[in-house]
Amino acid sequence: MLLRIYSVFVLTMDLVMLFIRICYIILTSIYRIIRPQPLKSLYGEVAMVVGAGSGVGRELTLHLCQLGVTVACVDINVESCNTTVQRALQLHGKCKRYQCDVRDNVAVVDIVNLIKDQFGDITMLFHCCGLPSPRALIEEPPDIRTTMDLSVISYFWLLDAVLPCMQRAGRGHITILSSVAGLSSGRSRIPLSTAQFAVQGLAESLLMDLRHSSKNIIVTLVHVYPFIIGTEVAKDIRFRLPSYFGTMPAAEAARKILNGVRRNYAEFSVPGYLLYLGHLLRILPKEASIMLREMLDTGVDFA
């Protein structure tokens, strides 16, 4: 009898402490919305940017170089990657081009070892090449194997090769990007949406695993919600809700991503308010969630 009373008492105390901690975290989060954390310095870090040849990857490379980060620009396209490196060098950044198909495990291991030999242990990882293009989201039937290998499987090869570097360095930051395809699916977009949902699950699993084994390695999940990044095809597209799913220059998206990374956010979106919409879709009854998804499902078509 006394043992049962003691067990109930311990359980009650645990629940009370859990409730207090949850309330504290909620209040702290609300406070941080009003007054964000200061931006941490990235000077001296060694970053590996996968997909640095264009779009967000290119702009992240340029921003990182301006912040004093040594950047390894990784892309399968040599020409576009060289263009990024030349622009970075004009900004007096320290970076170098590396050609690699991240779908190939052996190639990833070789390129990480090469970067490590030339720059030292990698302490930051940005994977940008898994974000689908606007036309792929709209009209191109994606190749399932290519989509999964590039957007999901490549993460495992990269993490297997890069995590030991971060553990040796005693610090690290892994930035995982997920696109709007992970918010809402649609006709002919099942492989893309599945891949983006898988990326989100990978980020949460990695966060929980490193929370216990490597607390100095930070995982940040970024939901990139503008329907397209860049304005090069904006004139060809009609949006149902342009104020919500409009265009955003890649430079602005990269700046917002780095601001969140420098504040050590575990999860955020670009733009920020749409993160809460994604959470709302998950807690609503399924039928209501489907109705809201259909209304917000961009309704985009090429003009």
Cα–Cα distance measured from residue 239 to residue 77, given in angstroms and rounded to the nearest whole number: 31
Residue 151 in domain: yes
Could you tell me the residue range of the domain that residue 51 belongs to? Answer: 40-302
CATH number of 58's domain: 3.40.50.720
Higher pLDDT, 241 or 98: 98
Domain count, the chain: 1
pLDDT in tens, 245-274: 556 788 888 999 999 999 999 988 887 777
By mean pLDDT, which of 107-111, 123-127, 149-153, 211-215 is the weakest?
211-215
Q: What is the arithmetic mean of pLDDT over 85-103?
A: 90
Residue 130 in domain: yes
> So what's the pLDDT on residue 255?
92
- Torsions phi, psi of 284, nearest 5? -70, 155
Q: CA geometry: angle at 177 spanning 171 and 181, to 5°?
A: 160
pTM: 0.83
39, 158, 44: which is closest to 100 by C-alpha?
158
Element of type H or E holding 125: strand 124-127
Higher pLDDT, 232 or 52: 52
Q: Residue 50 — very low, low, confident or very high, per pLDDT cuts 50/70/90?
A: very high
- Cβ–Cβ < 8 Å for 83, 204: no
> So what's the pLDDT on residue 301?
41
> So what's the pLDDT on residue 184?
56
Residue 15 in domain: no
Cα–Cα distance measured from residue 106 to residue 161, given in angstroms and rounded to the nearest whole number: 10
With a cut of 80, say whether residue 40 has pLDDT above it: yes
Both tokens of residue 136?
A: 């792929």
- Torsions phi, psi of 138, nearest 5? -95, -55
With a cut of 50, say whether residue 300 has pLDDT above it: no
Q: What is the arithmetic mean of pLDDT over 152-172?
A: 93
Give me the helices (H) in 141-249, please: 144-148, 154-169, 190-213
197, 179, 180, 189: which is closest to 140 by C-alpha?
189
> So what's the pLDDT on residue 246?
57
Residue 28 in domain: no
Using DSSP's 3-state secondary structure scheme, residue 172 falls into: strand
- Cβ–Cβ < 8 Å for 262, 282: no
Q: Residue 299 — very low, low, confident or very high, per pLDDT cuts 50/70/90?
A: very low
Q: Residue 6 — very low, low, confident or very high, per pLDDT cuts 50/70/90?
A: confident
> So what's the pLDDT on residue 256?
92
Residue 193 in domain: yes
Q: What is the arithmetic mean of pLDDT over 110-129?
A: 93
> So what's the pLDDT on residue 66?
92
Residue 29 in domain: no
> So what's the pLDDT on residue 303?
35
Mean pLDDT of the chain: 82
pLDDT in tens, 182-239: 555 555 567 777 888 889 899 999 998 888 887 899 999 998 875 555 544 445 455 5
With a cut of 70, say whether residue 241 has pLDDT above it: no
Residue that the structure tokens 């259909």 belong to: 294
157, 168, 93, 161: which is closest to 130 by C-alpha?
157
> So what's the pLDDT on residue 130?
64
Q: To 10 degrees, what angle do helices 154-169 and 190-213 make? A: 20
Residue 27 in domain: no
Residue 226 in domain: yes
By mean pLDDT, which of 62-66, 176-180, 186-190 is the weakest?
186-190
